[in-house]
Amino acid sequence: MKRKTTLLLIAVSSSMILGLWLGAWYIGIQPNVLKDITNQPVADLFSSVNALFAGFAFCGVILTVYLQIQELQDTRVVLDETAKANKMSADYAKENAIVELFKTYCSEYFQEVKNSSMNVLIPAVASKEYFDFIVSRFFVAEQQELSISSWERIKTVSHYKNYDEFKSCEQHDRYKLDELINFFTILAYQKDAIEVIGRCDFSYSWWRPMFWMLAIAQDSRYKNNDLIVKYGTKPYFKEVVQRLDLAYCLKPIENIQELVSLIKDHPKLKVQYNLDPNHVELSNW
């Protein structure tokens, strides 16, 4: 519509200017007509026409500026609409990524991952000795061996019938725990998706105390062992749990004292998971 209006305005203006020029030219070649109108020389008449053309030229400049302003306004509108569309696409992509992760979390396969992880995490809560073994296995150096002495406390929370059965399945379950940790790592590092994560229930309140125990123990073991630093990689899990805390509007744990405060009277850990008293001794961390 604006294009048609602009073309019509140009056509009318051009026609008027051409008509005036032809009329002035015709009058200029008719001496008798000029004598009846004016005593001024023909050149003065054409000078007035020149002034008229100059006026129209100025109008043309104004029209050009107006069209440029309109074009800039149209461009701004298009850019705003494009920005809104891009933001909507980005928001959809973020939400879609979290939804896909949530589908994975709820899948039949991942149910096995969660069950196997709990076969490790719950005994690790019940036995500080087994917990230390688990933490050591996150590093390539200074790994501990699984000890039968840890079974005394593990058996109070494990569904395995005896130590041999537990030992035969322990490595498989521990590898599934690695999968669980990797899953939550991917989740935590979804770019600009913290608010989306917070709206999805990944049972984080169940995992949180045990995740923090692992994260702080990993970090402490790495910092206090030169051989692990030499041959291993810096643990990242503490930052992962911090990010998840922020996503769920929780205050991240700052130190070992806060961790002990979290776990010592935790209803799940203390009652159902038979929390080892050694976990709440600050000297053991």
Structure tokens, 232? 């291993």
**Residues contacting 56, CB < 8 A, separation 6+:** 13, 16, 17
- The C-alpha atoms of residue 9 and residue 15 are separated, in whole angstroms, by 10
- The least confident of 67-71, 124-128, 198-202, 278-282 is 67-71
- The least confident of 97-111, 136-150, 252-266 is 97-111
- Amino acid (1-letter code) at residue 219: D
185 has pLDDT over 80: yes
26 has pLDDT over 60: yes
pLDDT band at 163 (very low <50, low <70, confident <90, very high): very high
Distances in Å between the alpha carbon of 97 and those of 90, 92, 93, 181, 188? 11, 8, 6, 18, 12
259 has pLDDT over 60: yes
85 has pLDDT over 60: yes
Q: Where are the beta strands (DSSP E) in the chain?
A: none
**Residues contacting 281, CB < 8 A, separation 6+:** none
Q: Which residue has the higher pLDDT, 198 or 129?
A: 129
Q: What is the pLDDT of residue 242?
A: 96
**Residues contacting 115, CB < 8 A, separation 6+:** none
Q: Which residue has the higher pLDDT, 130 or 1?
A: 130
Q: What is the pLDDT of residue 95?
A: 75
- The least confident of 7-16, 57-66, 82-91, 184-193 is 82-91
Which whole number is the average pLDDT over 15-43?
60
The SS3 assignment for 75 reads helix
pLDDT band at 192 (very low <50, low <70, confident <90, very high): confident
pLDDT digits (tens, 9 = 90+) for 222-243: 999 999 999 989 999 999 999 9
- The C-alpha atoms of residue 77 and residue 92 are separated, in whole angstroms, by 22
